Amino acid sequence: MKSRISRRLFLGGLALAGLAGPALANPPQVSLRPQARIAGVAKRALGGVERLVADAGLSGRVSFAVADVHSGTLLEGFAARVAQPPASVSKAVTALYALETLGAEHRFQTRLLADGPVENGVLRGDLYLVGGGDPTLDTDGLAELAAGLKEAGVREVRGAFRIYDAGLPQIRSIDPEQPDHVGYSPSVSGIALNYNRVYFEWKRAGSSYALSMDARTERYRPEVQAARIAIADRQVPVYTYRDRDGIDHWTVARGALGNGGGRWLPVRRPGLYAGDVFRTLARSHGVTLKSAKLAPRLPGGTVLAQVNSPPLRVVLKGMLRWSNNLTAEMVGLAATKARGGTPNSLRASARAMSDWAKTRFEMSTISLVDHSGLGGASRMSAQDLVQALVQVSERDVLRPILKPIAMRDERGRVVREHPIKVNAKTGTLNFVSGLGGFMTASDGTELAFAIFAADTDIRARIQRQDRERPPGARTWNGKAKRLQQKLIDRWGTLYGS
C-alpha cells in the first residue's frame, strides 16, 4: 500500500559516529519519501500484501513498513501509522537513547568506599558498597571487589556495612502486572546483582527435598539469606511471595517439584541481596562485616576498590541479543538522569525517552511506559520506527549491535546460506509480536523495516497468574513469526534487484 509522507530534510549531519557527546542534536537528515512505483512481473506474481496478512490467520491487528535506507523511500506499508505495542523492539530505541546520552564507551562503576581512615588494617569507620547502575554486575564482580578490599589492606571493619543503591529509583517490579515469580520482571535500583535474580534449586532427599537459594555464577555459588523458600503442601499456585522483615519469603507447591530442578526467581530488595552476597565473599578473605543496611545518601570517602562494566556498546549488544529487561530499564533510567531528569518511576523516564524520540526522529506516535517493552501499554507505529532506523543507518551505530536473525523455510528450519541477511530486534509478549531492524537483499540492497502484530483484546483478558504461559499464546506468536519471515522474503524479491 502507498503512503505519502511530507518531512523536512536534515540540515546537518548526525554526530552518532563517535557517540561521545550529544549525538543527534540536529534535525533529521534523511526523511521517508513517498513510495516509488514498482513495476515488473515479480510484484504481480507476488500479489497484494493483504492476502499475505489474511493467510497468516492472526487475530488482532498487523502493521508494517519497509523503506530503502539510502534514499529514504517508503517502499511498502500496511496500517503503517497505527500505534501498536512494540514489546522488546522498543529496546532498539532505548539503545539509541543511551548511546546518545552516555556515549558508546561509557562504563558503569561499582565501588567500595571507606568512610573513615584505615589504620593498621582496621577501617575505623563505615564501609559502603556503592551501586553505580551497572546492569551486568554479577557475583564474580563482587568477588573482585572483596579481593580488592583485602588488597587495600583492610582486615577489619569497626563501623557498619552500608549499601547505597539509590542512584536510580527503587522500583519493585518492572511490570507489576506480571506474576510475582517471573525472573524477567525483577526489581530495579541503583545496584543489580545477577540481574536481580536468585537461583532456586531443589533435589530429592528421601521422601522430601533439599532446597537452596544461591547467587551462582560459573565460579561461585554463595548461598543467600536475603531470600528464603519453603515447601507448601498444595498443587497451585506454584509460588507465593511476601516481604517479611526485609527478606524475600517464597513458598513453592510440593506438587510442582517433581524429581528436581532449578530456576531463577526475582529479587525484590536488590541492595540487601548484594550486601548479603558481598558479606559472604568478604568473609572468604578474612574480613567479617556486620549485616548490611541501606544508606539513604551517598557519603564522601576513600575508594578502596572498584569494578567497571564493559563499554556501553558491549552492554547494549548483550541487551539486544538476549533481550534483558533489567538492562534496558537501568540504562534508560541512567540516560534520563544524565540528561538532567529526576525520574521517580519507569513511566516518567520512558516519557522522557519518548519525548526525545519525537524530537530527534519525529516519531509522533511513540508513547512508552518503560524502556524494555515489557509493559503492554507502550505504543509505537511501524512507520515511526522505520523512520528512525533510516536516519541512523548512515552512521551504522545500531545495526552492528543488533542480533542476526535466521531466515527459515516453510517448516521453520533455519536456512543457513539464505541470500537475505537480517539484523533486527525481536519483541514477544503474549499475543504481541514485533520485529524491527535492517535487511540486506541478495543484490546488496539495504532496507529498514518494522513489523508489529497484536491482539490487545485477548491480551487484556489474561489473568495475572496466567501471564507466564497463557493458553493459545504460543500458537498465535508462532503464526506472527511466520508472517514476519514471509514479509522479509517478499521484500527481498520485490526490492532486492
Q: What is the pLDDT of residues 332-358, one digit of tens each?
A: 999 999 999 999 999 999 999 999 999
Identify the band that residue 32 occupies on the pLDDT scale cut at 50, 70 and 90. Answer: confident
Mean pLDDT of the chain: 91
| pLDDT at position 24 over 60 | no
Q: Which of 245, 211, 247, 210 is nearest to 227 (CA)?
A: 247
- In tens, the pLDDT along 380-424 reads 999 999 999 999 998 899 999 999 999 998 888 999 999 999 999
Q: What is the mean pLDDT of residues 302-325?
A: 98
| pLDDT at position 33 over 60 | yes
Domain spans in the chain, listed from the N-terminal domain onward: 41-104+312-495, 108-309
Q: In what order do the strands lie in the sheet with 197-205?
A: 208-214, 197-205, 260-266
Q: Of 303 and 46, which is predicted with more confidence?
A: 303
pLDDT, position 30: 52
- Cα(288)–Cα(219) distance, integer angstroms: 21
334 and 108 Cβ atoms separated by less than 8 Å: yes
Q: Does domain 108-309 correspond to CATH entry 3.50.80.20? A: yes
- In tens, the pLDDT along 238-287 reads 999 999 988 999 999 999 999 999 999 999 999 999 999 999 999 999 99
Identify the band that residue 42 occupies on the pLDDT scale cut at 50, 70 and 90. Answer: low
DSSP annotation of 35 reads P
C-alpha angle 253-255-260 in degrees, rounded to nearest 5: 90
292 CB-near residues (< 8 Å, 6+ apart)? 129, 161, 162, 163, 271, 272, 274, 275, 276, 278, 279
| pLDDT at position 10 over 60 | no
Domain 41-104+312-495: give its CATH superfamily: DD-peptidase/beta-lactamase superfamily (3.40.710.10)
- Cα(414)–Cα(351) distance, integer angstroms: 38
| pLDDT at position 44 over 60 | no
Q: What is the mean pLDDT of residues 113-119?
A: 96
